[in-house]
Amino acid sequence: MPEYIIVGDGYAALFFAHQLIKNNRTFLLFSEGKKSASQVSAGIINPVVLKKFTTFWKAQEQIDGLKKTLAEIEQYTGKNYWIEANIHRIFHDEKERELWLKKSQTEELNPFLAQRFETLSGVENPHQTGSVMQSARLNVADFFSDMMRYLEQKGHLVLEKFDYALLNPSEQKYGDIRYKHIVFAEGMGVKANPFFSEIPVNPNKGHHLKVKLSSPIDHSFTVKKKHFLFPMDADTYYYGGTYDREQYHNEVDESAKAQLIGGLSEIYKAGYEVEAVHFGFRPTVKDRRPLMGAHPEFDSLYVFNGLGARGVLNGSYFSEVLYQHISQGIALPNEVRWNRFS
Ligand SMILES: Cc1cc2nc3c(=O)[nH]c(=O)nc-3n(C[C@H](O)[C@H](O)[C@H](O)COP(=O)(O)OP(=O)(O)OC[C@H]3O[C@@H](n4cnc5c(N)ncnc54)[C@H](O)[C@@H]3O)c2cc1C
């Protein structure tokens, strides 16, 4: 009998699985084998809101926590997925550069906004760039392939869609499987979950381009003006992602693609080929904080959702908070309870 069942295979599910691995718990993880929003993500680890030059709740704690978590994961996968590659924010104009400088002198932003500006080669940056200290990237492709392989090797992985009709929460049974706790981490798939379909999560569709630059940029860090640009491998670059709250259909939006092409052409003049366009749905919440906690009637059922645009940091940090809540009864902070709006 597994103590835990996890439903999903994105950041929420895999970081929660890590908590179980670390604490020697028995569990099964259900993956329906679709490409999650997490796998489409850029994997940017960023303590700063780059539109307004502000930071967010627990940013420093989340960065420190992620480093610790990735070091723990390295012990069993053999790899650290943290890529040391700062974000270089291209300034739109002088006014923005001055605002950055002012903010960099505040106690809140001082640990994150570099006070020295740089001119980059290969991209348009007439007003220079500012570097976000402590920002980095996750090696998304390797993180997912290694974690899924590990889960399979250890017998945790069930490559099946979790069928809600087989769940009997009164008897704590899924088909013939007895469990103690279920953690639902389905991203926007939660809308099909009869126990948590009403949680206040909304899709925000994001697209990115995979491009081949005609003359590769000679640096490995992340460039950001409208969107993020960084190398995926020797040949190809990631450019994205867009934000759209209106489009829910499961196809590429030409308008999003055009927006990305426009944004990239503004900073990169040497010509490029679009090799692919990918999209996913971010599970977002109006106050930009996760949604967590137990079902009001069946207290063995939990939800872990609402990671929004910060799946890596939120997923890593709050999976530990949720694990401690379930295993030790430590109360969840009000800020992340799924029913905080009612
Ligand atoms: C273009 C784009 C770029 C992004 N860039 C970044 C970034 O740079 N940094 C960052 O931190 N975040 C980024 N994000 C946000 C991040 O991707 C999300 O926060 C994250 O994916 C949410 O993770 P999740 O695990 O909650 O959901 P998901 O990643 O959607 O995973 C849920 C999984 O559960 C599975 N599932 C659902 N129902 C069932 C079922 N019944 N049975 C079995 N499996 C089921 C689904 O198939 C899915 O694979 C980006 C998002 C997009 C779209």
For ligand 1, is residue 13 a contact (CB within 6 Å)?
A: yes
Which residues, listed in sequence order, are joined to residue 183 by a DSSP beta bridge?
6, 302
Tokens of 196: 């948590």
pTM of the shown model: 0.98
* Minimum CA distance residue for ligand 1 atom 17: 38
Question: Is the predicted pLDDT of residue 112 greater than 80, yes or no?
Answer: yes
Measured CA distances, 223 to 158, 227, 323 (Å): 38, 8, 35
Atom of ligand 1 at shortest range from CA of 240: 1
**Which pLDDT score is estimated for 258?**
98
Tokens of 65: 């926590």
Mean pLDDT of 112-139: 97
Confidence of residue 296 (pLDDT cuts 50, 70, 90): very high
Distance 39 CA to ligand 1 centre (A): 7
**Which pLDDT score is estimated for 13?**
98
CA–CA dist 102, 100 (Å, integer): 5
Tokens of 205: 């569709």
Mean pLDDT of 215-240: 91
Question: Residues 1-20: pLDDT tens digits?
Answer: 899 999 999 999 999 999 99
**Which pLDDT score is estimated for 119?**
96
CA–CA dist 13, 102 (Å, integer): 39
Tokens of 16: 């929660």
Question: Is the predicted pLDDT of residue 216 greater than 90, yes or no?
Answer: no
Question: Is the predicted pLDDT of residue 219 greater than 80, yes or no?
Answer: no
**Which pLDDT score is estimated for 235?**
81
Which residues, listed in sequence order, are joined to residue 279 by a DSSP beta bridge?
207
For ligand 1, is residue 306 a contact (CB within 6 Å)?
A: no
**Which pLDDT score is estimated for 248?**
87
**Which pLDDT score is estimated for 218?**
75
Mean pLDDT of 199-211: 98
